[in-house]
Amino acid sequence: MNDLKNKVVIITGASSGIGKACAIEFARAECKVVITGRNAKTLAESALEIKAITNAEVLEVVSDVSIEDDCRKIINETILRFGKIDVLINNAGVSMRALFNNLDLKVIKQLMDINFWGTVYCTKYALPEILKNKGSVVGISSIAGYLGLPGRTGYSASKFAMHGFLGSLRSENLKTGLHVMICCPGYTESNIRKTALNHNAQAQGDTPLDEKKLMSSAEVAQNIVNGVRKRKRTIILTTQGKISVLLGKFFPAWVDRMAYNTISKEADSPFK
């Protein structure tokens, strides 16, 4: 996989943010790229942008990864167009900002359906083809998959579940040549905070952070492409993320307090 030329890469949730940035970076590596998203207009605009930048072959598949049949459709249309699958980037995801005590449980269900089940469905149907090529399954996760973040119960639950699923998949395939990678970007410039769900499953519509000060989606995508090339096991980006995961192993109570203090200071924090 050091040479990605002509590899077929599926990227879910590629209409914007990290997903679109990944599509551009894989296309620059001369891959054939399949992008998915729920909004046909936005997805088509992203495909045009990727082609304009890279002149790559791009297939867009309008789909919702929380729907099993849509995930099957992604795989079938990819095989029909390109005849194979080498890499699956499970990127589609949604976040939340609300206290569990005030939460409508449909919020957690929606997060699990997209973040966890979307990964499971796409991986299930893509895996036979990826195994033929000893390719890669990648999960775009979060520090929330290592630490139970306050105000993010559903998000952390979905990312912990993703980690467990992909870790088991890796162990099952130690002798098949399958590469499994989990990437935790940390705070990254994207739309995920604007689309994060509130206590009643409505999009927040704004971000509590200064997005311009965060790691760019392009930088995250470059790390992901490099990780696939080098068949890395785990990528944790941003200094804050690396420190949080490391200290969480040895000083979990202290990290809990730091996470609480940090999130409680956000604009429109659920603790206020």
Give me the active site residues, please.
155
In angstroms, rounded to a whole number, what is the distance separating the alpha carbons of residues 265 and 170? 38
**Which residues, in sequence order, are CB contacts of 20 under 8 Å at separation 6+?**
14, 35, 46, 49, 50, 217
The DSSP result for 208-223, as a single string, is SS-GGGSBPHHHHHHH
By CB atoms closer than 10 A (0-12, 13-18, 19+), residue 170 is middle
Report CA Rg, the chain: 18
- CA nearest neighbour of 103 among 156, 157, 145, 152: 152
